[in-house]
Amino acid sequence: MALSNDDSPVYIRLRGTIAAGILRGEYRTGDQLPSVRALAAEHGANPLTVAKAYQSFQDDGYVEVRRGVGMFVLPGAADRLRVAERTRFVNEHWPRIAEYIDLLGLDVGDLMERERA
């Protein structure tokens, strides 16, 4: 599961894929992320688009670049990313989801029970 939707720009979808990997523990502190070329090939994306996604992680302080070596996950990245993604979910996604639940006349409690079953 990525942390973006299909309507998002490609670099946002790629960022969501990497973010989900960090949150799941697929990429831990000190781990090297896939190279720009490798990720571009894996997702059929332009390397410049992947570089843009990676740059956003660097700008946000989740990864560091080691020149000539690659991108590495910084300590605390997963915790800080989780806080940021929770905030984004509550502020951007939840209002639309809650509105849709209400529109359909669904009960949140029933939905939660269903998920646990």
Name the least confident of 4-8, 91-95, 109-113.
Answer: 4-8
pLDDT above 70: residue 2: no
> For the segment 47-85, what is each residue's pLDDT rounded down to a tens digit?
999 999 999 999 999 999 999 999 999 999 999 999 999
pTM as predicted? 0.81
How would CATH label the architecture of 10-116? Orthogonal Bundle (1.10)
Both tokens assigned to 117: 């079953």
Domain ranges of the chain: 10-116
String of DSSP letters for 63-86: EEEETTTEEEEPTTHHHHHHHHHH
**What is the rounded distance in angstroms from the CA atom of residue 36 to the CA atom of residue 53?**
10
Q: How far is CA 65 from the centre of its chain?
A: 19
